[in-house]
Chain A
């Protein structure tokens, strides 16, 4: 069956460290993969999009990798700050539809 799995547990890290979030998928062949941030009571906010022929994408303190052989995307936040605390969602393209993972709740402690 088709599945998207993100870090099942909440992630707690210390301010200044690098947070690494994982998105694994099975039985999908996405041409695109996106990452979003969602704060409580709000809609998701787009962060990065990576295409299947791209290995890595960066935006300021954010970095995304996409390994179609491993069927995995990694999302890194370097020099993390308490303001980065939120739920992070990966979403992959399936024939034009966006299919979302359950999300990983990140908490950055000062």
Chain B
């Protein structure tokens, strides 16, 4: 089975711009979660989608949003980029029906976003 894929792998944007990141989960997985990883804050939960519905949300401002399509692929969007949004954005999929944290998470390689 192919693993979780994320595109693009690297992205450079300037403050004020917006960005869309894409994630394709493992075939058959219906849960997709997004995380932000920075040296200072570590790995932080952004949100989880299951069957096209947001099932859980972390403590991030409304500039961070996401969606999931009927084929389970997911996108996350960050609007009005700030310098502090520079981070590694990781997507993870899981195959269980329970909430994301109840199951093994399969992570993608991440998208490295740099905001100048």
Contacts and interface: CB of A to CB of B under 8 A. Distances in A.
Interface of A: 31-32, 34, 36, 41-46, 49, 89, 91-103
B75 interface: no
Interface residues of B, number: 25
Contacts of B44: 100
Contacts of B109: 41-43
Given A102-B42, A103-B42, A96 B104 contact: no
B107 interface: yes
Interface of B: 4, 33, 35, 42-45, 48, 55-56, 58, 90, 92, 99-110
A98 B104 contact: no
Contact of A46 (B35, B55, B56, B104): B104
Contacts of B43: 44, 89, 91, 100
